[in-house]
Structure 1
Amino acid sequence: MENESEVASFPNTASAEVSQSPTPGVVVSLVVGALTPDLPEVLSALALQDYPNLQILVLLRQSDEEQTKQVKELVASTTPGAHVTELGADLGYTVAANAVLRLVDGESGFFLLMCDDVVLDVGAVRQLVEEMYRSNAGIAGPKILDGENPQILRSVGYAMDWFGQLDDPIEPQEIDQEQHDAVRDVFALSSACLFVRADLFRELGGFEPTIEDDGAALDLCWRSHLSGARVLIVPSATARQPHRVPVHGEADERNRMMTVASLTGSLRMLMIMPLLLVATLFGALVSVIRGDGRRAVNLLGSFGALLTRSGSILRRRRRAHALRRVPDREIVELQVRGSASWRRMLRHGSNRAVFAGHSVTQGPRKRRILITAGWAMLIIVLFLGGRQLFVSGVEPVGQFSRLPDSPRDLISEYFSGWRSQDLGSSSSQATSMILIAIGGVVALAQMGLVHTLLIVGLIPIGWLGVSALCAVVADDRARLAGVFAYAAVPIPYVAMATGRHQVLIAYAVVPWALHFLRSFGGIAPSVVDNTAGDVIDHPSSEMRLQLVAKLSLLLAVTLAFSPSTVLVVVMCAVLWQLAAVLGGGSTRAAGLGLAGALTATVAAVVLNLPWTTRFLQPDAWAVIVGVDTNRPSGLGWWDLMRMDTGPAVLGGLVLFLYVPLFVAALVAKNSRFVWSIRASVLVAGSLVLASLDAGHHLPFRLPEAGMMLVPVAIGLAIGAAIIVMSFGIDVRGANFGWRQPLAVISLATLSIALVPVLTAGIDGRWGQPTTTLAGQIEELLGDTASGDFRVLVVGDTRLVPAGQHAYGDGLSYSLIQNSRSTMLDQFTPISDGSDQFVKPLIDAIAQGSTDRVGRLMAPFGIRYIVVPILDRVQSTSASPLPVASGLTQSLGVQLDLRSVYSPTSMVIFENMQWIPVTAMLSLSAEQGTNAGGVTALVDNDVSGSRAALVGTASWRSVTEEIPAGQLHIGTPFDSRWRLQNAGQSVVGMASFGSVMTFESSAGSGRLVYDNPVTRYLWVLLQMILWVIVLVALFQPRFFGRRIIPVSLEPVVSFEDMSQ
């Protein structure tokens, strides 16, 4: 395993000063991953070093036996005195380099830590040793030149800003003219070659083992500064390294931010973390504008990792605190002010790199400018189209009900076992409640901002999803064409105008879901391929686990808000399987994608337990696909192709997007042809299903038309991307024929199809009305001075806001608390008293079986009955929907209902017999509750009750003085409610045959709801399940930290080297 040969004899041409006294030992730690073409030259350069006291350790960090044998033979022939140690596993560079701490005994020397592609100049080690003594430094690094052209500079050390961004003083392709040849202090060095005092490296504990990239060197140098040691660049020592194109991923950004959070002083952390958040958000925005959506996601995910990896950060902070000998203010003086990345962008953006007298090609730069301009245009369209909504907020039209005011109340209600919506019930809470609460906490309780982002923010999320999905074409311009096509369809703008939140969720989620399914199945991007079928690159098991965790998390969040969107995702996975058969794609990859979709769907259902037990009820399908709303009559094939589901200016121009899809199937070849067929099947299959559903030709209902058209839009986007790429590969270079003009025509139609998106936001609201039905109800009926109450809204299904209950014959009804509906009202509980108690009351109105329906409604706190007429979206003054025959007339003949002033948009009746939701009953009402039953209610006047304990909720108790009598609660009877009154606990009794009352004594009183223990157990289980998925997603190192699996003993001693 180890080569125990003697130390090689090195030529001694050192200076007289060094040779007259014992020279300190230098141990070279060369970490070798595999036998590369550069390794022989690297070893030869080490053998030719003119420093006399040098020992070489070759650390093999891979387990392939053949590779190990070849490396050993090369080392033996090139540097026969070197020690070769097999670390026995595929380790990262930093973990492997730290092995030198166990292989070398003593501290009176130096470590030279090198990658296996760095070629040292003959005198590099000697120069580094001399400068370390001369400058009393702790870490030094050589000037690194380009391996192919030594005139080009690669690294001369780095400065660093407050946020961990490195500032490289070298311009791209800068020629070495000795302009950087002064020895100077730097904040960090390249990890390719580091010269470190052995005692310092031991004190620092080596590299941080959780970092694999250049961030490891930054962390090491920063900790060196904390200990008081200097970090120098020594330009007289030179090295060469082949140029490697840097690939900046999430790990780089995450390591940078974690290093900042780990090593910044405690007091400065209070300032740095908010600034880091602002810098991250700004960097993400700039990345999106420049067309680099992946980096934007990496930045945001990396900042989020500061929370998920807080344990690792705390561990590193404790280690840094033990090292700290220099106050933080002196470290700040070593850092540059402002943003290094901003300076770098300004500096590099204004200069043209010159190499060998020729300008660097501007092709990639021009392409990047095009992509940046394209994304900038989309962002401008987004902000201009919704400018009024960003300023004043989204109006509560359709499903865009407002959010509750307090995230704290949402968290408390979520842990409660009582659901306050409708009449109230003992039931599990929807997971969306806690997700909205978390959003409110992140937004610092600015629930209006959360509401706007939860709606408008879905549009750009969909664009980014299509950009990720269209990455299969491996051409940025083609991807942008796909994004523009997706942005051109009228679906999101119609949804904004009509208040269809479910459609917007599908618009945002489905592209991302398909992207994850594509990656899970192993369908890889392709540039130019000469074989038919998909390009397959199956991910590793670790990546597959991460992908299914991403998809599970995505569908779990989606299911909490829109179960029907998950159904659309599964439908698309099935259509992809069909497309693989028809288009010659990989059926195995498509099958894996379908399996991934089903697995993630099951995981999403489990993650939303216990709320998803709602799907076990008889009306489960209606819960999944929603109430039969927003289903325009007479939608034919032509209407669906034009996506004519609502008001859209010039929406018919979307038909031009079908031309590129059709042409792509004719001109594309190889994997591009497969993708054109996949897109065509997605479009055709979705249109067929939507048409069958619109014509009521299926035995079950599907999600509303707008959602079914989202896969059509995705297919059109893929078609646009394919035709752009095929034009450059399959058409332009081929012999002239019918393909060229057909492709040119299809490209021209793309620009025509973009016209609607430019006109949709002229009013700054995407056609959304400024006055809404829900807003008017809240404004006119929102006075709670007389106590808490409910509003019963009954009318056309297309007009009834909030959570709807189907009544029949195109009618629905909903109950609104204190006249203000919220987004949480849209989620129906497992058990609810609305159908049991409220529906019979509407039956009594329709049948005219009683003229005292107001008294029957009184125990439930129903104060107002509203019949909607105009919502200014589905029903306008110019084209109103018909009101159900006889509905207002039947309400008008009721003796207990009084017609009040109403705007033209609705008819309002007030129930003069109403009882506040929590109230002390009047004497006449007490007689009614004692008698019980419907007859007693009809025969007794129940008015005159006084509100008490106003604002009581299961998670919030209100204490006040109450008189002796009967305390009424207008919710279905539940034994978990108790009245704490005058030091005693009072049990409730059934009242009016449906609700409950408490016998109270004069004194202090408050209502308390006893949460069941099972509720807390369910919440705990749900938290554990979500943590498991998050662990699978982020795969923290502490669950599988790579260690050296072999026992290492010292093979070199500095004491022996000094003798």
Structure 2
Amino acid sequence: MFEGVDEGLVPSREWLASPPSVTAVIVCRNGARWLPQVLDSLASLPHLPNAVVAVDVASTDETREILGRYLHPASIRTAPAGTGFGDAVRIALDGAPQTEWVWLLHDDSAPGPDALAHLLDQATQSDEIGIAGPKLREWPSLKRLLEVGVTVTGTGSRETGLERGEPDQGQHDRPHDVLAVSTAGMLVRRRVLDDLGGFDQQLPLFFDDLDLGWRAARRGYRVRVVPAAVVFHVEASATGVRQGSIARRPRRDLRRAATYTLLANASRPGFLWQSVRLLLGSVLRTLALLVAKAPREAADELGGTLSVYLRPGAMYRARRRRAAASRVDQKSVRERLLPSPLIPYRHGLDAVGELVNTLVGPAPEMTGRRAAVEARDDDEDELPVSGSFLSRHPWAATVLMLALVALVAARSVIGSGYLAGGALLPSPESAGAWWSLFTSGSHDVSIGSDAAAPGYVVPLALLGTLFGGNADLAVSVVLLAGAVLAALTAHRLARRLFASPWIALWWGATYGVLVATSGAVAQGRIGSVVALAAAPAIVNSAYLLTTRPRVTDGLRLGLWLTLATAFAPLTYLLTAAPLLLAGGVLLRRRGWPSIATALLLPWALLGSWMWTRALDPGAWWWEAGRADAGVGDLDPPTWQLALGHAGGPGAATYATGALVLLGLLALMRTDRRAGVLVAWAAGLWGLAWASLGAGARFTDGISSGPAWVGVPATLWVAALAAAAGMAADGLTERWAERPLRRRAYAIGVVLAVAGPLLATGWWVARGVDDPLERGPITEVPAYLADRAADGDSTLVLTGSREEGVSQQVVSGDGTRLGDEAVMPPPEAFRDLDNDVRRLLANPSTGVLERLGTYGIQAIYLPAPADDALVDALETVPGLKPSGSPEGSRAWTFTTESDRTPAPDSALRPIAAYIQLGLLLVVTVAAAPGRAREVR
């Protein structure tokens, strides 16, 4: 009946001299679709069983009539609805001939040629072999492997050791001992089945085979898989094609069966650990299913697990029965037959890899027209694709190369210490400091503050928490790998913009290089890096919103916009006007709720921190980190802005010239004029903002500095590159018969490749340091920083009497990333400024006492300390000279004062937790729903 089974060499089969008796048991339930072929395959075996008994479990189709045509009425049993597999086998064997072996089959499992004889070949080799099972292959494809023996992981998953859809090419054809074999084709000694008490009645449908094999192994019997014996299995119950399944909630029953099997068979020392592990794992999976918007599956997951824990008596009896029957050490069974404890986590990494592959792999979308072009045979997806990794996975190879280039470029800032410099402040000691900063009503920075924390600390805190609390690692990954992240989001957008995958690859990689060579990385502008990495995702979400205006699309766009705005608020202004214009032109009334959702969400999630931008327009130019990166005035000439450069170190000034030229040439292609003009309009919008901010200074109410226009300037060049890509899309076929135009196209390709390659070479050669660096925090000496544990701060004075003195109050070892946004406003320092002037002009202990009310207990002059300031402070009564690095000076107070309580807002923590709760709700609502199979 089934062809293509390689029977290999036929063994001598000494058992044929005295053939063992076999009873075949077929359990049926609404299997009329497959039952005739199963019975025909059984009847065509060269070596037939001595008896065949079928059990019909309340079938409502033609199963009973089919059985009547093939079998004697005395060989047909009837079982009531809801009867499990083990009970059905028990009903079949009651009154059946007493044979040496029982061969179990499903109504959707057809034995291959000589399957029974191959099973007996192995089963009769030793009396220790109590169970033998075949190799299962998929029916109807016939070639894909399902199981060659099975075991169970510590998390309750069936482990077959096979890849999904793995074809049978003889790679698993060695007979070997396993924990269990499937009941579809299981050959079990009758005395062994009776000795074990049959199948556990607590497992009517799932895990009955694993439990029986596990108990057999503990009893001292061997379970053997025989790959030469092949059974073809539909898996009708598992795949949902069978009508009238006895499992109303399959996932719940599966989880219950897995938990029950693992706990019932766990060793005594491992029972407690396994109980905790399974419960925690189930809770985590439940949360993941809720995030995936699968509440029914989440309820089944947790309900199935708890149903075992809520019946301790049943578990106690199950474990007692197994302990009484056990004759083999549990440790021996675990070492021989159970998989590595790392297997579940390896599968978890595979799942993460699949998730990453959706981002870096080919476009998952396919229109109905493209999908209907051709129908492939089942064999086609089993053939390996030849060629190098680059030819088979060009985008993945490009991402790996970009990552390698980014790693080499960051060579000088990889190591110990903190990543800082330019606009980037050192990270806090742990991610917990960011959580505390966001949820606290009072901040121990400078003289104390109750300001609202910036929104960007939340994603950094989340990432740092995922990295084991390592805040510096989170910042390093975002900043140093930001170009790679930007390339990933850009390529995802490019797959929507361009029909040619090679143009999509070029634009994605080019965008990543533009981010790396914009100067943002070298200048420590983490806000610009995140905003530029999120920009393609914003455009992509906006495109989806304008084509299918749904609230969930508005939420996704709003989340991306919130992320970018939290790091670089100017992104909001760059997005709002084009989105409103696109909505007015394309959607009119029907899309406004979604657009309003997207534009209002940042105001809700970022709270009062966002509202201050509306009250102070200059604050829109602020980005995460220092307002002044210390790279001089950022006033690039017009020609540099036209090339997309915002000024400062770390920018590849001339490398973008080819992209600008290609963008201009793109206007010449008239049949793609619409897309090219849209790209130009987007680019000019960015260039307009870059021109507006270049050379300007801004203040956010706390500090001031020159405006950095790297985000709009980079987007300007990226838009011109997109225009060039749109114009080039499809030109190869159109100009195939025109040699002159082909040469022009070739020149364009050279320009398109040369620009990014030149920028990449410059990126690698220069590196990303200066002013970015990695090292220790040296704002104040370590012993002064340690005094922060007692609430003491240090007054740091810089400058000279002739040029003016600047003062800063430092808590701990200095300002950390996030602290700069919650500093007290300038007006809060008026009294302190007056006290510092009195200290230098007319020192007295009274001045020190007033300074002490701010928590100041030390004064520090960094190198080179001004001699006039040193002379003035040496005469101050109540100051004691202390050790300090060469060229600097430090004094500690000998007097103590009661510190004035720092400002504290009772509403800030409440608002912060509301924002976090809203963020969680919106993220769950915006997340893609769990894919459900349509049968």
Confirm or deny: 8 A CA contact 1:899 1:908 kept in the other structure. Answer: no
Pairing of 1:173-322 with structure 2 (within 5 A): 175=169, 180=173, 185=178, 203-204=202-203, 206=205, 236-239=229-232, 322=315
CA gap of 1:504–1:154, structure 2 versus 1, over 3 A, is: same
Matched, 1:707 2:711: yes
CA–CA distance in structure 1, aligned partners of residues 898 and 111 of structure 2 = 91
1:935-968 Cα shifts (integer Å, max 9, x gaps):
xxxxxx9953899xxxxxxxxxxxxxx99x9833
Pairing of 1:609-648 with structure 2 (within 5 A): 609=607, 611-612=609-610, 614-615=612-613, 618-619=615-616, 622=619, 625=622, 632-636=634-638, 638-648=640-650
Q: Which runs of 5+ in 2 are unaligned?
A: 1-15, 43-51, 68-78, 93-103, 218-222, 240-250, 278-284, 310-314, 324-329, 351-377, 882-892
1:756-781 Cα shifts (integer Å, max 9, x gaps):
22222325444435599x96644699
- Which one of the candidate residues 141, 163, 167 is aligned to 2:161? 167
CA gap of 1:716–1:553, structure 2 versus 1, over 3 A, is: same
CA–CA distance in structure 2, aligned partners of residues 23 and 424 of structure 1 = 82
- Which one of the candidate residues 604, 608, 631 is aligned to 2:606? 608
Matched, 1:788 2:793: yes
1:1018 alignment partner AA: A
CA–CA distance in structure 2, aligned partners of residues 575 and 364 of structure 1 = 46
Three-state SS of the structure 2 residue aligned to 1:485 is helix
After TM superposition, give the deviation of residue 388 of structure 1 in Å: 1.8
Confirm or deny: 8 A CA contact 1:398 1:499 kept in the other structure. Answer: yes
Matched, 1:45 2:47: no
CA gap of 1:365–1:194, structure 2 versus 1, over 3 A, is: farther
CA–CA distance in structure 2, aligned partners of residues 389 and 1025 of structure 1 = 37
CA–CA distance in structure 2, aligned partners of residues 1042 and 366 of structure 1 = 33
CA–CA distance in structure 1, aligned partners of residues 260 and 689 of structure 2 = 52
CA–CA distance in structure 2, aligned partners of residues 1017 and 262 of structure 1 = 46
After TM superposition, give the deviation of residue 443 of structure 1 in Å: 3.6
2:748 alignment partner AA: S
1:136-166 Cα shifts (integer Å, max 9, x gaps):
9899675326856x5x454443677889776
- Which one of the candidate residues 814, 821, 825 is aligned to 2:815? 821
Three-state SS of the structure 1 residue aligned to 2:655 is helix
CA–CA distance in structure 2, aligned partners of residues 114 and 710 of structure 1 = 64
Matched, 1:390 2:414: yes
Three-state SS of the structure 2 residue aligned to 1:826 is helix
CA–CA distance in structure 2, aligned partners of residues 173 and 589 of structure 1 = 53
Confirm or deny: 8 A CA contact 1:418 1:425 kept in the other structure. Answer: yes
Pairing of 1:998-1017 with structure 2 (within 5 A): 1012=906, 1014-1017=907-910
Three-state SS of the structure 2 residue aligned to 1:496 is coil
**Residue in 1 aligned with 2:746?**
744
CA–CA distance in structure 2, aligned partners of residues 261 and 449 of structure 1 = 41
Matched, 1:467 2:491: yes
| Percent identical | 14
**Residue in 1 aligned with 2:28?**
27
CA gap of 1:445–1:625, structure 2 versus 1, over 3 A, is: closer
Matched, 1:563 2:569: yes
Matched, 1:486 2:486: no
Aligned residues: 759
1:835 alignment partner AA: E
Three-state SS of the structure 1 residue aligned to 2:897 is strand
CA–CA distance in structure 2, aligned partners of residues 628 and 793 of structure 1 = 19
Three-state SS of the structure 2 residue aligned to 1:790 is strand
CA–CA distance in structure 1, aligned partners of residues 416 and 663 of structure 2 = 39
CA–CA distance in structure 2, aligned partners of residues 1036 and 130 of structure 1 = 49
Pairing of 1:19-98 with structure 2 (within 5 A): 24=25, 26-28=27-29, 45=37, 48=40, 50=42, 53=54, 55=56
Three-state SS of the structure 1 residue aligned to 2:793 is coil
**Residue in 2 aligned with 1:509?**
534
1:515 alignment partner AA: N
Confirm or deny: 8 A CA contact 2:423 2:525 kept in the other structure. Answer: yes
Three-state SS of the structure 1 residue aligned to 2:447 is coil
1:393-449 Cα shifts (integer Å, max 9, x gaps):
554323211122254555555543212334323344445456555555444444433
After TM superposition, give the deviation of residue 465 of structure 1 in Å: 1.4
Confirm or deny: 8 A CA contact 2:132 2:186 kept in the other structure. Answer: yes
After TM superposition, give the deviation of residue 489 of structure 1 in Å: 1.6
Three-state SS of the structure 2 residue aligned to 1:498 is coil
1:367-399 Cα shifts (integer Å, max 9, x gaps):
225444422321211111001212245543232
Confirm or deny: 8 A CA contact 2:636 2:645 kept in the other structure. Answer: no
**Residue in 1 aligned with 2:87?**
108
After TM superposition, give the deviation of residue 464 of structure 1 in Å: 1.8
Matched, 1:497 2:522: yes
**Residue in 1 aligned with 2:921?**
1028
Three-state SS of the structure 2 residue aligned to 1:489 is helix
Confirm or deny: 8 A CA contact 1:510 1:568 kept in the other structure. Answer: no
**Residue in 1 aligned with 2:401?**
377
CA–CA distance in structure 1, aligned partners of residues 826 and 105 of structure 2 = 73
CA gap of 1:132–1:711, structure 2 versus 1, over 3 A, is: farther
**Residue in 2 aligned with 1:653?**
655
2:137 alignment partner AA: I
1:563 alignment partner AA: P
CA–CA distance in structure 2, aligned partners of residues 827 and 622 of structure 1 = 11
2:569 alignment partner AA: P
CA–CA distance in structure 2, aligned partners of residues 153 and 898 of structure 1 = 76
CA–CA distance in structure 2, aligned partners of residues 48 and 304 of structure 1 = 48
CA–CA distance in structure 2, aligned partners of residues 261 and 767 of structure 1 = 60
Confirm or deny: 8 A CA contact 2:115 2:228 kept in the other structure. Answer: no
- Point out the more displaced range, 482-491 or 326-335: 326-335
CA–CA distance in structure 1, aligned partners of residues 867 and 778 of structure 2 = 11
Confirm or deny: 8 A CA contact 1:410 1:434 kept in the other structure. Answer: yes
1:746 alignment partner AA: G
Confirm or deny: 8 A CA contact 1:555 1:604 kept in the other structure. Answer: yes
Report the TM-score, using the length of structure 1 for normalisation. 0.56
- Which one of the candidate residues 427, 433, 438 is aligned to 1:403? 427
Three-state SS of the structure 1 residue aligned to 2:649 is coil
1:53 alignment partner AA: A
1:26 alignment partner AA: V
1:687 alignment partner AA: L
**Residue in 2 aligned with 1:683?**
683
Confirm or deny: 8 A CA contact 1:791 1:864 kept in the other structure. Answer: no
**Residue in 2 aligned with 1:1008?**
none
After TM superposition, give the deviation of residue 466 of structure 1 in Å: 1.5
CA–CA distance in structure 1, aligned partners of residues 301 and 580 of structure 2 = 44
Matched, 1:449 2:473: yes
CA–CA distance in structure 2, aligned partners of residues 120 and 599 of structure 1 = 56
CA–CA distance in structure 2, aligned partners of residues 28 and 199 of structure 1 = 20
1:184-223 Cα shifts (integer Å, max 9, x gaps):
63778799x999999858634646xxxxxxxxxxx88767
Confirm or deny: 8 A CA contact 1:777 1:819 kept in the other structure. Answer: yes
Confirm or deny: 8 A CA contact 1:470 1:482 kept in the other structure. Answer: yes
Three-state SS of the structure 1 residue aligned to 2:27 is strand
CA–CA distance in structure 2, aligned partners of residues 748 and 835 of structure 1 = 58
2:148 alignment partner AA: G
1:588-621 Cα shifts (integer Å, max 9, x gaps):
49995x86565244333323346545456x3265
After TM superposition, give the deviation of residue 694 of structure 1 in Å: 3.3
- Which one of the candidate residues 151, 157, 160 is aligned to 2:148? 157
CA–CA distance in structure 2, aligned partners of residues 719 and 190 of structure 1 = 61
- Point out the more displaced range, 547-556 or 131-140: 131-140
After TM superposition, give the deviation of residue 494 of structure 1 in Å: 0.9
CA–CA distance in structure 2, aligned partners of residues 273 and 716 of structure 1 = 57
Report the TM-score, using the length of structure 2 for normalisation. 0.62
CA–CA distance in structure 1, aligned partners of residues 798 and 635 of structure 2 = 23
CA gap of 1:653–1:318, structure 2 versus 1, over 3 A, is: same
CA gap of 1:514–1:588, structure 2 versus 1, over 3 A, is: same
Pairing of 1:859-870 with structure 2 (within 5 A): 859=850
Pairing of 1:703-852 with structure 2 (within 5 A): 704-715=708-719, 718=722, 726=730, 730-731=733-734, 734-736=736-738, 739-753=741-755, 754-768=757-771, 777-778=779-780, 787-791=792-796, 816-817=810-811, 820-828=814-822, 832-838=824-830, 841=833
